[in-house]
Structure 1
Amino acid sequence: MTIQAIGLVFFGLLAIGMPLYLVLGSTAVVMYGLNGDPLVGVFQKMLDGLNSETLLAVPFFVMAAAFMEKGGVAKAMIDLVALAVGRVRGGMAIVSILACTLFAAICGSSVATAMAMGAILVPAMKSRGYPMPFSLGVLAAAGTLGILIPPSLAMILYALIAEESVPRLFLAGVIPGAIQAALFIGYSMFYAYRHKLPREASIQRARGERRRILLRALPALSLPAIVGIGIYGGFTTVTEASVLTAMAALLIGAFVYKGFPISDTLGQVADAVKSAAVITIIIATALAFAQWLTSSGVPAAIVEFITEIGLKPWQFLLIINVLLIVMGMFLETVSIMLITLPILVPLLGPLGIDPVHFAVVMTINMELALLTAPVGLNLFVLSNVSKTPLSVVTKGVFPLECLLFGLLMLVTYIPELSLWLPNLVYGE
């Protein structure tokens, strides 16, 4: 009766359009009450979940992304990458992918990456005669690197629920992220030569300005260095690195690139705090829900069922991938992770699946969700930035979505792609 009751309450509340944090919290309260457990346990777990140093990193990475988007950091990165690859046929598409990769190495958010890069690169690609579906598809897909390349807010969320090491999860995303960027670049070059996209004459004329562009980009390049050297050099925790990154992004954006007046800082901070508060309340209720699930024995019952039917790890991963892809059509990424992870994480150990490897599988599924209509957020971001119908973005992103699905299969069944680097740095 327990599983049926959970399903009835949970999906009933979702069906009537209740916000996710209320769905998770209300389900936990109802199930505690039905079991005769003291309701104080729900609120105690929520408070325990909020008392997390790792959770503090979320608002600061959100702030860093906001300061970079408004402060001109994205423009400096784009100019630098364009200097290196702009002369290639269709070079602006490659510039888009590499610039998104660099931006992702600072902000941790796919939506912020797509928004910051799209605002600059959509007009640039349009003025050079690039087909709009192709341009928007490349930017939407490359923007998803924001949650795979470290630092990743999705990885931080996974670490909170699964109680895993954040630096280890960050490293697990590096090689898959590099492969994803390479696949997208390969597709862009193929498309450019097949459709005879223009070479970037304007970028060629910038050769005499190499020194100026490089020097201007150095402050922007210091931001990923703060994250990487700070965390993996053992100088800072993830939270401390997020604070330093936000402060550096503020100073660089306001005083170096002069992208916004210092008087706008409080408004930027307020927006970041609002965004982080939404995520925080959902996480708190999700942790209470997860605590009840674990104590109720639901994951154990699922493990027993899987054992009885003889489900192998590769079959389990295939089923989960299909489930997550379907959920990605109807729910946004944070909701999917907070609904599924409390159930899935306890199943990994008995099946012999490494939680770090599964974190990357989950994250790539979330990337696909960002590109899947009708809820894919990156599609809406690029549609809004370009003032074009959603169908145009969807058409352009489909080939890249297929490549991303191929990467998902590759990472799912070759765990070493995710585990080699963290095992090398931290040991097995």
Structure 2
Amino acid sequence: MIAIWALLAYITSIIVWNAVLKRNIGEAMIVGLLVSVAFAGAHAPAVLVESVSEAMQEQVTYAAIAFVVASHLMGRTPLLTRLIDILNSMLGRVRGGPVYTSILGGGAFASIAHIGAAVTAAVGSITVPWMKRSGVSPAMSATVVAGCAGMGITFPFSGTMFILVGSAGVSQLMSAEEIVIPLLVAGLWCLLYRLVAAFIIVRRHGIQAMDPADLRPARQTFRAGWTSLLLLVAIAVPVLLTLGPTGRALAGWAGVDVADSVSLVVWIPVLLVGLVAYLGRDVLPKRPAQWWSLLGSSAPRIGVVGVTIVGAFSASEALAALGLPAQLSSLLGRIDAPLWLLALAVGVLVVAVAIPLTGSATMAAIGPVAVATLVGAGVPAPVAASAVLVFASTEGASPPSAAPIYVASGIAGVDPAKTFKPLIGYFCLPILAIGVLITLGVLPV
């Protein structure tokens, strides 16, 4: 059980270094990586090199840094201000309007894209600055957006869903078609809860509607800033190329799976930076030296985000190399308890695995065993699979390793550690509870 001890030591060391010793999260992630790698003994140097090498090739590592640059550039142009003025003119009179819009937008995009980091990036690039403008703190703005990331797992037809239902253990218990409706209903329960959480956040943090003095007529704001709406093209184009009828038509014409060739995580920030540079060309630098200075001023934020996310992914690789998936699967198979306690234990273990791993990796590692454990206790297979996917959906809101946290924090310009506590309280633990209630039949699917 060395990998399980390594996981516990990894989480503990990060909490101590960041929360107790008050050091920054970048340092904490490096310490956590070194602690987890140490459990490899004589093989530690090789595991460390391999883990860091794999982490440096992760697309999300690039995306997190790219969005820091994109938000930094947008802050030097009037584009985002004009876009927020348009949004405020339409919804600014509603108390907490940007928060509710972020939740609903996250749900809508997640039902299409299913990729947590892409959901966070696409929705957060618009709603995080809007929330901040409306008086929401940077930490809470990042929390709300990161808390929506996991919804992609709880809606059909995510890659994570197919990894689970296509596994040998689960495919023997049910067909892929049997989970579609239960998972859709489970996803709607999770979305409903997030709207409740938004209501609580708005009231608890005293978030108000925009001051009428700051609101301008929609016709006026649209006339002044309609070009800023072109920023949405950075989201629309990759989505249309890869998903829906246009994505299928293009894949049929090209003879390849376009979704595998066009990465949403990569191309959304690429197009966003390009559009910002073009639309803001009147106020952005003209000379290479000026561009160098402008990009250099974003280095502190890039450094923290980059080091943190590389540390998180490296630790994930190291724990996998130590055999974490197999050891947790073995632990799950030993559980013999009443259904409510069994559901809670399975949920906690899935959530624990989803801390260092992605939802897809979590399902590949212990998903089949988790489903089989619940089915053995009398839970219908589609219900059990839906609940396990709900448990895994916490990967977007599980500190300290979830990639969406660092994407959202990079956009908000806030220390990721400031989102950890509210993410656990508002999203991680409640979503765990929803999965347990689905398993018990209290929330029907």
TM-score by length of 2: 0.56
Contact 1:109 1:147 (C-alpha < 8 Å) held by counterparts:
yes
Contact 1:74 1:103 (C-alpha < 8 Å) held by counterparts:
no
Partner secondary structure for residue 322 of structure 2: helix
Give the direction of change, closer, same or farther, for the CA distance of 1:349–1:120 in structure 2 (3 Å limit).
Answer: closer
Give the direction of change, closer, same or farther, for the CA distance of 1:78–1:344 in structure 2 (3 Å limit).
Answer: farther
- 1:183 aligns with one of 163, 185, 196: 196
Query: Could you tell me how far apart the structure 2 residues matched to 1:181 and 1:349 are?
Result: 25
Query: Could you tell me how far apart the structure 1 residues matched to 2:276 and 2:53 are?
Result: 33
Contact 2:120 2:146 (C-alpha < 8 Å) held by counterparts:
yes
Query: Could you tell me how far apart the structure 2 residues matched to 1:96 and 1:333 are?
Result: 25
Per-residue CA deviations over 1:250-285 (Å, capped at 9, x if unaligned) read: 102222245865825875697576555334422321
Per-residue CA deviations over 1:190-228 (Å, capped at 9, x if unaligned) read: 779xx8956642454232324336723422222332343
Q: CA deviation at 1:69?
A: 1.9
Partner secondary structure for residue 230 of structure 1: helix
Gaps of 5+ in 2: 18-29, 110-115, 168-178, 249-257, 376-380
Which residue in the other structure is 1:57 paired with? 59
- 1:224 aligns with one of 235, 238, 250: 235
Contact 1:100 1:146 (C-alpha < 8 Å) held by counterparts:
yes
1:410 matched to 2:438 = no
Give the direction of change, closer, same or farther, for the CA distance of 1:120–1:285 in structure 2 (3 Å limit).
Answer: same
1:66 matched to 2:77 = no
- 1:317 aligns with one of 343, 349, 353: 343
1:209 matched to 2:212 = no
Query: Could you tell me how far apart the structure 2 residues matched to 1:203 and 1:107 are?
Result: 32
Which residue in the other structure is 1:79 paired with? 85
Which residue in the other structure is 1:254 paired with? 277
Give the direction of change, closer, same or farther, for the CA distance of 1:85–1:188 in structure 2 (3 Å limit).
Answer: farther
Give the direction of change, closer, same or farther, for the CA distance of 1:319–1:51 in structure 2 (3 Å limit).
Answer: closer
Give the direction of change, closer, same or farther, for the CA distance of 1:219–1:26 in structure 2 (3 Å limit).
Answer: same
| One-letter code aligned to 2:234 | L
1:22 matched to 2:34 = yes
Give the direction of change, closer, same or farther, for the CA distance of 1:247–1:94 in structure 2 (3 Å limit).
Answer: same
Which residue in the other structure is 2:370 paired with? 348
Query: Could you tell me how far apart the structure 2 residues matched to 1:335 and 1:284 are?
Result: 8
Query: Could you tell me how far apart the structure 2 residues matched to 1:51 and 1:368 are?
Result: 18
Which residue in the other structure is 2:27 paired with? none
- 1:362 aligns with one of 392, 397, 410: 392
Per-residue CA deviations over 1:341-384 (Å, capped at 9, x if unaligned) read: 897546324224766753442333763758xxxxx999999999
Query: Could you tell me how far apart the structure 2 residues matched to 1:9 and 1:199 are?
Result: 48
- 2:318 aligns with one of 285, 309, 327: 285
Give the direction of change, closer, same or farther, for the CA distance of 1:19–1:284 in structure 2 (3 Å limit).
Answer: same
Which residue in the other structure is 1:142 paired with? 144
Number of aligned residues:
362
Query: Could you tell me how far apart the structure 1 residues matched to 2:207 and 2:317 are?
Result: 52
- Of all paired residues, the percent bearing the same amino acid is 11
Query: Could you tell me how far apart the structure 2 residues matched to 1:177 and 1:65 are?
Result: 27
**1:82-93 correspondence to structure 2 within 5 Å:** 82-88=88-94, 90=95, 93=96
| One-letter code aligned to 1:66 | V
**1:260-275 correspondence to structure 2 within 5 Å:** 261=285, 263-264=291-292, 271=303, 274=307
Contact 2:33 2:312 (C-alpha < 8 Å) held by counterparts:
no
Contact 1:149 1:174 (C-alpha < 8 Å) held by counterparts:
yes
- 2:101 aligns with one of 79, 98, 103: 98
Give the direction of change, closer, same or farther, for the CA distance of 1:45–1:175 in structure 2 (3 Å limit).
Answer: farther
Per-residue CA deviations over 1:154-198 (Å, capped at 9, x if unaligned) read: xx9989x98999xx99x9797466435532454477779xx8956
**What is the alpha-carbon root mean square deviation over aligned residues?**
6.0
Partner secondary structure for residue 209 of structure 1: helix
| One-letter code aligned to 2:433 | M
Query: Could you tell me how far apart the structure 2 residues matched to 1:80 and 1:410 are?
Result: 36
TM-score by length of 1: 0.58
Which residue in the other structure is 1:373 paired with? none
Q: CA deviation at 1:101?
A: 6.1
Query: Could you tell me how far apart the structure 2 residues matched to 1:6 and 1:283 are?
Result: 11
Contact 1:85 1:94 (C-alpha < 8 Å) held by counterparts:
yes
Query: Could you tell me how far apart the structure 2 residues matched to 1:242 and 1:114 are?
Result: 13
Query: Could you tell me how far apart the structure 1 residues matched to 2:362 and 2:153 are?
Result: 22
